[in-house]
Structure formats: C-alpha cells, structure tokens
C-alpha cells in the first residue's frame, strides 16, 4: 500500500498533440443528427480543444490530491483514490465506476461524501480503478471479470483497515458491487446502486407489467436494438477494436464521447450534462494508459459469468430517469428483498455522479441512512 503520484511526462502530452494534429478524418455523416454515430464536426471540435487549451495538469493535480494510491492484489496493481473523512464514525464506502467511465466520475462528489453538512452522513471514500482501466494494472492473463474484481475489492478494504463498509456502483461498478454482496456480504453494511440489473426472472416473477413498466421495457428494447453494438464488439472482439483506440486519440475520444450523448440526461448535446473538461479528463484516463482494449475486455470476461441470484444484503437504489438499464421497484424487490431505499430522482442519467454530483451525493447519503 503506497501513494501513487501521477506524473505524465511532457513527451507523452506532446505526442498526444502531435497525433491529434495528424488525424485523418472520415467523411462527414450524411444525416443531420447522431443516428450514424458522433458527428464529425463535434469530434473535430473536441479534439481541437484537447490539442490546444485542455489542461491535463489540472486533472492530474486533482487526482493526486484525492489520495491517489496503489497496492498489489492477486498479482495485479490496483490504483485507487482514498479520501478519509474528518469526522469520527464515518462509514467506509467503496465506490466503483464502469465503462466508459473512470475514477474521474467521482472527483466532484468526494468532498460532499467525506465532509457532508451532517457529520452523521460522512464516508471514508475509496474509489478503485477497475482492472485494465486507468492507472490500475492490465491483466496479463484472462480471468479478471466482475467476479474476480469483487474478490479483489474484498481484500482491498480490510487492507485499508476497513472491516465493515458500504459499497456503491453503476454500470460495471454495479455488477462488481452486487457480486461483492455475494462474496463478502458478512462485511457489508449494505450497497447502493444507480444501475440495477434484475434479470428476466425477477421481471416475470413480479407479474404483468404496469403501464410504467411497459414503458421501461420499451426503453430498454430500444437501447438493445439501436444502442448496444459497442457491447457486442467489446464482448466478442475487444482486441481487434483496441488497435484503432491505441493508435488514434481521435478514435478513443469519439468511442467514449458518443456515449455521453446517448446516455446522459441532456438537451441534445453531451455538454448539457457534463462539461467538456470533465469529458476530456475521463478520455485521458483511457488514452494515457492505453486502456482501449484492456477496458473493453471487461465485457469479454464478464458477460458469460453474469450472476443474477438473490442479493440478501441491505440495498438502496436510485433510478435516474435517463439510465440506459431501467428497472422498477417491483422488479428490484424480487432480486433484492432487503430493499431499504428506492428513489426516482427527477434528473440525471447513466453517469449520475458526473451529471448531478450534488443530487448523487444526497442519494448515497439517503440510502445509507437506512443501513448505518
């Protein structure tokens, strides 16, 4: 267990700018919207900002100030942020990101969680980078899916001195968190999810869908039919995808930024929901660490091992309106019978902590008030 100071050499930043300047752009889309993918003009605009005015050193300093650390677990280096609360009695909280996110998702909520208005709501916050993501190690052998990651997290927390803790997650972070509830439930106070995967069995067990639930099913069907090609690629041929993402920063930027249009609660533009600087901060954690292929492998590793059994630990759920994997409270109760908290915020999407940091922090606090 040791501090991990992020210090990207100037030469790597110079190389990034040079590559951006040499980008060979594709032909412009021939539709006036995003239906063929992220528009050429917007990617060019993002990359121009990235090459000229974007300040990586600002983000680097934020990450280092947030307790950037590293430890080896099961032969793999695990990078994490660690912010201790100033308040006695704070509850340790393990927060896990997904794809195409990173620990950057939580930079704007760390202080709110660690030092809230009411000290009774305080957390010691631990935010690890998934294997193959960001500054964590890139597994040299297969086997690092959601299950093995959850088991690694179960070693990380006691190593930090936390025998009793809560866990939170969305996207792959939700999958890791629910698996953690199964493999380390004895040490968990409870979990909070902002993406809740229930499975077909739970939906069928709840009985005929209500009109609202039918709308949720339709929304998910549209996502599956028109917005899930990325997942098919990453769960079947992540290595093939990786060559382009490793060589072209414009490709890596476009591959990620497109999801911030499709998955956020915006008014037609991703920067309605997430600032350009934060979007590029997140892309940088993929580009600088060459994580395009290794992050995609989480899909290859984990789709076949998805475990949708009952989760017995106390659970809280925040159902943000633009979440791409929607669920109803009735469905959730069939897989998570000890559901202590379930709320439907009026705004926010898949990247809730980035889009609505204050609202996200309050949702986490409210959920764990029922479990502490």
Q: DSSP string of 127-176?
A: EEPPTTSTTS---SSS--SHHHHHHHHHHHHHHTT-SSEEEEESTHHHHH
Q: Kindly report the CA angle at 192 between 297 and 233, in degrees rounded to 5?
A: 20
pLDDT at 203: 94
- Which residues, 6+ apart, have CB-to-CB distance to 217 below 8 Å? 203, 209
- Which residues, 6+ apart, have CB-to-CB distance to 24 below 8 Å? none
Q: Are 363 and 192 in contact (CB under 8 A)?
A: yes
Whether the CA torsion 272, 277, 94, 111 is positive or negative: it is negative
Instruction: Answer yes or no: 350 catalytic.
Output: yes
Choosing from 4, 165, 230, 299, the catalytic residue is 299
Print pLDDT tens along the chain (372 aa): 899 999 999 999 999 999 999 999 999 999 999 999 999 999 999 999 999 999 999 999 999 999 999 999 999 999 999 999 999 999 999 999 999 999 999 999 999 999 999 999 999 999 999 999 999 999 999 999 999 999 999 999 999 999 999 999 999 999 999 999 999 999 999 999 999 999 999 999 999 999 999 999 999 999 999 999 999 999 999 999 999 999 999 999 999 999 999 999 999 999 999 999 999 999 999 999 999 999 999 999 998 877 789 999 999 999 999 999 999 999 999 999 999 999 999 999 999 999 999 999 999 999 999 999
Instruction: Answer yes or no: 171 catalytic.
Output: yes
Instruction: Answer yes or no: 54 catalytic.
Output: no
pLDDT at 308: 85
Choosing from 171, 184, 265, 281, the catalytic residue is 171
- The CATH class for the domain spanning 2-369 reads alpha beta
Cα separation, 169 vs 191, whole angstroms: 8
What are the tens digits of pLDDT across the range 247-264?
A: 999 999 999 999 999 999
Strand partners, 276: none
Q: Are 103 and 81 in contact (CB under 8 A)?
A: yes
Cα separation, 329 vs 113, whole angstroms: 25
């Amino acid at each position: 267990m040791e501090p991990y100071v992020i210090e990207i050499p100037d030469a790597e930043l110079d190389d990034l700018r040079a590559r951006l300047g040499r980008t060979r752009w594709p032909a412009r889309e021939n539709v006036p919207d995003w239906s063929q993918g992220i528009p050429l003009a917007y990617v060019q605009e993002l990359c121009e900002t990235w090459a000229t005015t974007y300040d990586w050193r600002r983000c680097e300093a934020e990450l280092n100030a947030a307790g950037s650390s590293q430890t080896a677990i099961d032969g793999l280096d695990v990078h994490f942020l660690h912010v201790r609360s100033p308040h006695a009695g704070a509850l340790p909280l393990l927060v896990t990101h997904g794809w195409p996110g990173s620990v950057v998702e939580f930079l704007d909520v760390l202080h709110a969680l660690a030092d809230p208005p009411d000290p009774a709501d305080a957390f010691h916050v631990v935010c690890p980078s998934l294997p193959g993501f960001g500054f964590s190690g890139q597994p040299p052998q297969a086997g690092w899916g959601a299950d093995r990651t959850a088991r690694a997290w179960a070693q990380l927390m006691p190593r930090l001195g936390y025998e009793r803790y809560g866990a939170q997650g969305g996207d792959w972070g939700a999958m890791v968190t629910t698996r953690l509830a199964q493999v380390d439930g004895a040490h968990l106070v409870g979990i909070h999810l902002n993406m809740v995967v229930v499975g077909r069995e739970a939906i069928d067990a709840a009985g005929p869908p209500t009109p609202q639930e039918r709308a949720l099913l339709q929304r998910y069907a549209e996502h599956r039919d028109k917005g899930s090609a990325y997942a098919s690629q990453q769960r079947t041929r992540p290595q093939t995808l990786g060559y382009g993402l490793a060589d072209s920063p414009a490709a890596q930027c476009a591959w990620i930024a497109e999801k911030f249009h499709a998955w956020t609660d915006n008014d037609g533009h991703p920067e309605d929901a997430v600032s350009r600087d934060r979007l590029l901060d997140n892309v940088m954690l993929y580009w600088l660490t060459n994580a395009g292929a290794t992050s995609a492998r989480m899909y290859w590793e984990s789709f076949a091992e998805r475990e949708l059994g009952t989760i017995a630990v106390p659970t809280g759920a925040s159902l943000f309106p633009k979440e791409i994997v929607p669920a109803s409270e009735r469905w959730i109760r069939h897989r998570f019978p000890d559901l202590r908290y379930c709320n439907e915020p009026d705004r926010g999407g898949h990247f809730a902590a980035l889009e609505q940091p204050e609202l996200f922090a309050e949702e986490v606090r409210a959920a764990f008030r029922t479990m502490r």
